[in-house]
Amino acid sequence: MKVCFILLCTLAYCATLLDGYRILGIFPYNGKSHNVMFSALMKGLAKRGHQVDDITHFPVKDAGKTYNVVVNLNGTLKSVVNSFTIDYVKLLDHDVARMIADDYGNAFCKLMDLPEMQKLIKNPPNNPPYDVVITEAFGSHCFMGFGHLLNVPVIAVSSSVEYPWVSQLIGSDDNPAYVCNALSSDFDKSSFFDRLWNTVSYHQTVHTFHKTSEKFQTDAMRKYLKTDTPNIRQVERSVALTLVNRHPVLYGAKPIAPSLVEVSGLHIEQSELRILTPKWKKYLDESSDGVAYFTFGSLVLIESLPEKTILDVYKSFAKITPIRVIMKIADKRKLPPGLPKNVYTSAWIPQQAVLSHPNVKVFITHGGLMGIQETLYFAVPIIGIPLFGDQHRNVAIFVEKNMGVKINFDNITTESLDEALNEVLKNPKYKKNAKIYSNLFKDRPMNATDTASFWIEYIIRNGPNVLRSPALELEWWQLHLLDVYGFILASIVLTTILLYCILKYSLDKLLYGTSEKHKKE
């Protein structure tokens, strides 16, 4: 009986493999926060029985036998993990679209020239061949050209909300009258000047991205992939499906094309990430008075703050004793002396496991989307200190929904931190609202991993054009009905002029005829 059971299980597993597709994942950006989502997606697809070949800086662990790293990019680029100083962050916040297109876009296209990449490009597998290519929608859209090379559909994945140029490539253009630019923070739909600025910034962002990336990435695809590869803008428009890390609870409702699917929080569903080591479990369990968790994510170094700011942070944290504080510090030697006794530092912190612990009372964060979603999922209020990019908007949303408060990063003082900590720790409304919105975030018909997997398989089964928006066939002026409105306006003007001429002619004729009649009499 036992042998029969094992045989049946083996046959069932083999049947799953036979039904599975062969998927090529290409993730050139070496930012760990982005790859948290991509790794979760690739792992989920492999566990469903698909043969997943990955090109990544961060190979997935424990993904099963159907997961394989075909090109390991680890070490090919200078690591960005724990590399951003506060001074560098200030530069980042001024020209984000250009930086994404160039520094995190054009520069990565050169990875296609690596020997391992060229080997795959010139000799792709054919037993079986690839069914689909999955790559990031961020800066280096040149990797979408692999779809043209392999003659398979391309699925794009955005680890953030869709930037304006991502919305355009699938024909789901945002209406700036009521949809806030992803790189903006404050937006009041009822304000004329907010809508004016939102419209200008939206189109300026798209223009900057296109201008910076078009020639370089088109040339790169034709050089490293195939000489007949279309222009990068055409390649972008061939994308069959885009998965975005977005949810209406955070960003509000908006019209979206069927080819854009929201899979927010996909990376949180790996329950093994919430398992604490004995050391961390002991620390958190013993913190019965509560814990404040402070991090600037995987990129930005807290220890690069000015010394005076760090000393102010020390003073504020010391005041909330016996509440404990966990700080992510990559290099403790760079901290000034005087660290309070209630503060524990670590170069690595199991974030989901920490945030899910009931003793954690507040998350002091820069507002990165992955961390923001995790704190929402586990209903932990925040003190937001946004630094650049979408972090301003992420923190603004939590403040608007009374799930946290904000401190400007150039105003981190003992007084501002005291005020924020006292407000969030002592006012129950923040925890109450965090629980309300957490429940809304979790309440969905299908979890994010299953949603993403279904639509990926749907595209493979039914072809790249099944969800394609007809908006992609129109020019921008047609899409905004300028020709239609122009025609209507011209028709009204011409009709008015014609009626005026007819009326004038009739009146003149009538008056002229009457005067002539009187003369004859």
pLDDT above 70 coverage of the chain, percent: 93
pLDDT for residue 170: 85
Q: Mind listing the pLDDT tens digit for each residue in 231-280?
A: 999 999 999 999 999 999 988 888 888 999 999 999 998 777 788 999 99
Going from the C-alpha of 74 to that of each of 28, 46, 267, the distances in angstroms are 10, 21, 21
Whether residue 382 is predicted with pLDDT greater than 90 in this model: the reply is yes
pLDDT for position 472: 87
Note the residue count of the chain.
521
If one compares 94 and 122, the residue with the highest pLDDT of the two is: 122
- Strands, E, within 296-412: which ranges? 324-328, 343-346, 360-365, 382-384, 404-406
Average pLDDT, the chain: 90
Per-residue pLDDT tens over the stretch 207-218: 999 999 999 999
Tokens standing for residue 35: 């790859």
| Sheet of strand 343-346, all strands in order from the earlier edge strand to the far edge | 343-346, 324-328, 291-295, 360-365, 382-384, 404-406
Positive or negative, the CA dihedral 321, 322, 323, 327 is positive
The answer to whether the CB of 421 falls within 8 A of the CB of 316 is yes
Please determine, for residue 501, whether its predicted confidence score (pLDDT) is greater than 90: yes
In this structure, the strands spanning 51-56 and 67-72 are parallel
Burial classification of residue 517, based on how many CB atoms lie within 10 Å of its CB (0-12 exposed, 13-18 middle, 19 or more buried): exposed
Mean pLDDT of 278-291: 96
Residue with the bigger pLDDT between 173 and 333: it is 333
What distance lies between CA 471 and its chain's CA centroid? 23
Q: Given this model, what pLDDT does residue 230 score?
A: 96
Prior bond of 255 cis (ω within 30°): no
pLDDT bucket at 6, cuts 50 / 70 / 90 = very low
What confidence category does residue 18 fall into, taking pLDDT thresholds of 50, 70 and 90? very low
Model confidence at 515: pLDDT above 80: no
Look at residue 401 in the predicted model and tell me its pLDDT.
95
Alpha carbon distance 500, 496 (integer Å)? 6
